[in-house]
Amino acid sequence: MHESATHEGLGKRINRFFYAEETPYGLALMRMVLPAVLLIAALPRALRVRELYSADGAAAPLWENYGYPGLLPVPDATVAVALFTLMLFCMVTTLVGWQTRISLLVLTLLYPYFGMLDSASTLTKYTVVATHALALLCCSHCGSIWSVDAWLAGRRQWNPLTARSPRFAAWPRRLLQMLVGLVYLGAAITKMHTPAFFSGDQLTYWMLTESNFDNPIGDYVLLYPALILVVAYVTIIWETLFLFVAWQGTARILMLGIGLGFHFMTWATLGLIIFPLVYCSLYLAFINEQDVQWAAVRLRHLRQRILPVRLRFARSGTDRAAVEPSRAWATYGIAAAALVLVGIELERRSDPFGVARPEGRYQLEPLPPERVREMMTHDRPLRPIDKLFSFDVGTTAFGGVLVDRRREFDHGERAIVQCSVQHPHEDMWVGIDLVDADGHIVHQGGQVLPRETLRTSIFYDFSDALADGEYWFVLRLDGREVSRRQIFVGEDGKPAGATTDPAFALR
Amino acid sequence: MKKWLTSLGIAGYLALLGYGIVCHSLGFNTNAHPAMYFIIWDMYCGWGSYESRLHVLGEGASGQYYALTPAPWGDFHPFGSIGRQNYDPNAMHVGRMGVNALRYTDHEPIDRIVVIEETWPKKYNLPDHLWNRRYAEPKDKQSYYHLRAVFGADGTLVQRNPLWEQVLAQQVVLNNPRLMSDMSRGRPYFVLDPSLRNRSAVTPASYQVGEPE
What is the edge-to-edge ordering of all strands in the sheet holding A408-409? A408-409, A480-489, A469-477, A428-436, A441-449
Lowest-confidence region among A158-162, A407-411, B133-137, B178-182: A158-162
Q: Which residue of B has its CA nearest to A428?
A: B172
Task: Report the residue from A51, A62, A483 with minimal CB separation from B136.
Answer: A483
CA–CA separation, B11 vs A136, rounded Å?
14
Residue B31 with chain A: CB contacts under 8 Å: 66
- pLDDT at residue number B205: 46
Q: Is A103 exposed, middle or buried (0-12, 13-18, 19+ CB in 10 A)?
A: buried
Going by C-alpha positions, the residue among A292, A264, A252, A253 that lies closest to residue A25 is: A292
CA–CA separation, A73 vs A24, rounded Å?
37
DSSP per-residue string spanning A473-506? EEEEETTEEEEEEEEEESTTTS-SS--S-GGGGG
Q: How confident is the model at residue B188 (pLDDT cuts 50, 70, 90)?
A: low
Give me the residues of A, 233-262, that contact B with CB < 8 A: none
CA–CA separation, B69 vs B54, rounded Å?
9
CB-based contact B84 A63, cutoff 8 Å: no
CA–CA separation, A507 vs A380, rounded Å?
37
Share of chain A above pLDDT 90, in %: 80
* A476 contacts A482 by C-beta, under 8 angstroms: yes
Instruction: List A366's β-bridge partners, or say none.
Output: B66
Give me the residues of A, 393-432, that contact B with CB < 8 A: 422-427
CB-based contact B38 A128, cutoff 8 Å: yes
Task: Report the residue from B14, B120, B169 with minimal CB separation from A424.
Answer: B169
Whether the predicted pLDDT of A317 surpasses 70: no
* A456 contacts A449 by C-beta, under 8 angstroms: yes
Share of chain A above pLDDT 70, in %: 91
* A80 contacts A54 by C-beta, under 8 angstroms: yes
Share of chain B above pLDDT 70, in %: 87
Residues 6+ apart with CB under 8 A from A299: none
Average pLDDT, chain A: 90
- pLDDT at residue number B208: 47
CA–CA separation, A159 vs A149, rounded Å?
16
- pLDDT at residue number B194: 55
Instruction: List A446's β-bridge partners, or say none.
Output: A431
- pLDDT at residue number A156: 64
Q: Are strands A401-402 and A397-398 parallel, antiparallel or unpaired?
A: antiparallel
pLDDT digits (tens, 9 = 90+) for B165-175: 999 999 999 88
CA–CA separation, A17 vs A24, rounded Å?
14
Residue B67 with chain A: CB contacts under 8 Å: 364-365, 367
DSSP per-residue string spanning A33-47? HHHHHHHHHHHHHHT
Taking one residue from A and the other from B, the number of pairs with CB-CB distance under 8 angstroms is 261
Whether the predicted pLDDT of A88 surpasses 50: yes
pLDDT digits (tens, 9 = 90+) for A332-389: 999 999 999 999 999 999 999 999 999 999 999 999 999 999 999 988 999 999 999 9
- pLDDT at residue number A501: 44
- pLDDT at residue number A321: 67
CA–CA separation, B91 vs A120, rounded Å?
10
Residue A66 with chain B: CB contacts under 8 Å: 31-34, 36-37
Task: Report the residue from A71, A193, A506 with minimal CB separation from B45.
Answer: A193
pLDDT digits (tens, 9 = 90+) for A233-279: 999 999 999 999 999 899 999 999 999 999 999 999 999 999 999 99
Residue A427's alpha-carbon distances to A298, A422, A456, A479, B165, in angstroms, are 65, 12, 12, 13, 16
Instruction: Go through chain A and tell me how many residues it has.
Output: 507
Half-sphere exposure of A108 (CA within 13 A, CB side): 15
Element (DSSP H or E) covering residue A433: strand A428-436
Q: How confident is the model at residue A6 (pLDDT cuts 50, 70, 90)?
A: low
Cβ of A339 under 8 Å from any chain B Cβ?
Answer: no
CA–CA separation, A489 vs A183, rounded Å?
52
CA–CA separation, A416 vs A455, rounded Å?
12
CA–CA separation, A385 vs B136, rounded Å?
12
- pLDDT at residue number A8: 64
Residues 6+ apart with CB under 8 A from A7: none
Residue B49 with chain A: CB contacts under 8 Å: 205, 389, 422-423
Going by C-alpha positions, the residue among A108, A126, A135 that lies closest to residue A187 is: A126
Going by C-alpha positions, the residue among A97, A84, A82 that lies closest to residue A31 is: A97
Task: Report the residue from B93, B165, B175 with minimal CB separation from A426.
Answer: B175
- pLDDT at residue number A158: 64
Instruction: Tell me if the bond preceding A381 is cis, omega within 30° of 0.
Output: no
Whether the predicted pLDDT of A122 surpasses 80: yes
* A21 contacts A173 by C-beta, under 8 angstroms: no
Element (DSSP H or E) covering residue A448: strand A441-449
Q: How confident is the model at residue A99 (pLDDT cuts 50, 70, 90)?
A: very high
CA–CA separation, A173 vs B108, rounded Å?
59
CB-based contact A219 B76, cutoff 8 Å: no
Q: What angle do CA A161, A166, A167 make, to 5 degrees?
A: 100
* A415 contacts A459 by C-beta, under 8 angstroms: yes
Half-sphere exposure of A147 (CA within 13 A, CB side): 29
Cβ of A453 under 8 Å from any chain B Cβ?
Answer: no
DSSP state of A146: S
- pLDDT at residue number A500: 42
CA–CA separation, A183 vs A254, rounded Å?
18
Element (DSSP H or E) covering residue B148: strand B144-152
Going by C-alpha positions, the residue among A7, A310, A117 that lies closest to residue B96 is: A117
